[in-house]
Amino acid sequence: MKSYDLAVIGGGLVGSAIAWGAAKGGARVALLDEGDSALRAARGNFGLVWIQGKGAGMPAYAAWSQLSANLWPALRDALEGETNLHLGLQQPGGFYFCLSEAELETRAALIHRMSNESGDIGTRVVGRAEARAMVPGLGDEVVGATYCPMDGHANPLYLLRGLQAGLRAAGGDYLPNRHVTLITPQPDGFRIACGTALISCQKLVLAAGLGSRELAPMVGLQMPVQPLRGQILVTERMRSFLDYPTHNVRQTQEGTVMLGDSHEDVGFDTGTKISVQQQIAARNMRIFPALRDATLIRSWSALRVMSPDGHPIYEQSAAHPGAFSAACHSGVTLAGAHALAYAPAILAGELPEQLLPFSSQRFHVQAH
């Protein structure tokens, strides 16, 4: 039975970022990845580093997202230096396009509310003429947009690969095909059973996405997460026409165009649905008419990891100190914060005050 300073359960973007950050901090780290039997939300990620509109009603989430966006360049530089992978990070700002005056008014009200709640980060309403000047080729139905200078995007698959390669380079152990069946608190830490295999650790992080719900009570935590399906379409490679990420269209570094996004409450169904894909394609062709000539080459769905209020969950167990939770549906956006802020806090043994609002105790308050 091998012993570690920290075991991270969950090999997706959240767990991999925390594991890499902890290993860079000098800890002996094991990253336990369930393998291809897992739901693999990380592999279905759209790839946005998205700030505008993030954290409405929860200023702590807005601040955490902004911190992560600011930390992303340091994360990129470190990973690309260690792995020779190009993560494709670009942060030119991003657009949320609106197809009616009513939609634009609703969006503007949200941005105004967030500015009052969390401070002005430069997000603003852009009229039709300015939007067309900044993004040539917009459809006639686009009446305007909101633009945030902090928004960006990256390649989620290269990010995942880079984090796991960086973990190994820092001396950590990446352990695939480890399905955790039992976590037992010990006087000096925790014992984790993966079938008949055992490891011990002084601290652990539950970052297993939707699987965390069943594991959390074993260490005195609560992670009431639920799935929310999203579908994505991908076109063939196209000439470069989009220099900015948008809420539901982005052109990748290879030239393909990704189209999203749906929000479907269908439980654990990871299938795709033609009628939903038609809706995605129809709306995005109204925004970018050039997409009508593109050939779709693939599509997929993935299950977001959603808390009851849609915001992340971060907490240390009161019953079993040293056990931490980490759950969110923004694995790319928050990768900088997870690697360079959350991981050091775990090694220090105490979450900073800025993360206290993310405790699962907020759900008990809401229920009461």
Give the per-residue pLDDT at 39: 76
Give the per-residue pLDDT at 368: 45
- The rounded distance, in Å, linking the Cα atoms of 290 and 241 is 9
Q: What are the domain boundaries of the chain?
A: 2-83+156-224+309-367, 94-149, 226-306
The fold of the 226-306 domain, in CATH, is D-Amino Acid Oxidase; Chain A, domain 2 (3.30.9)
- The rounded distance, in Å, linking the Cα atoms of 215 and 278 is 38
Give the per-residue pLDDT at 42: 85
Q: Is 166 exposed, middle or buried (0-12, 13-18, 19+ CB in 10 A)?
A: buried
- The rounded distance, in Å, linking the Cα atoms of 150 and 122 is 8
Per-residue confidence in pLDDT tens, the chain, 368 aa: 899 999 999 999 999 999 999 999 999 999 999 987 777 888 889 999 999 999 999 999 999 999 999 999 999 999 999 999 999 999 999 999 999 999 999 999 999 999 999 999 999 999 999 999 999 999 999 999 999 999 999 999 999 999 999 999 999 999 999 999 999 999 999 999 998 899 999 999 999 999 999 999 999 999 999 999 999 999 999 999 999 999 999 999 999 999 998 999 999 999 999 999 999 999 999 999 999 999 999 999 999 999 999 999 999 999 999 999 999 999 999 999 999 999 999 999 999 999 999 999 999 865 54
Pick the CATH number of 2-83+156-224+309-367 from 3.40.50.970, 3.30.540.10, 3.50.50.60, 2.60.300.12: 3.50.50.60
Q: Please answer whether residues 45 and 331 qualify as being in contact, where contact means their C-beta atoms are separated by less than 8 angstroms.
A: yes
Phi-psi region of 264 (alpha: psi -120 to 50; beta: other; left: phi over 0): beta
Sign of the dihedral defined by the CA atoms of residues 77, 335, 20, 197, in that order:
negative
How much helix, strand and coil, in percent to the nearest 5, is found in the chain? 35, 25, 40
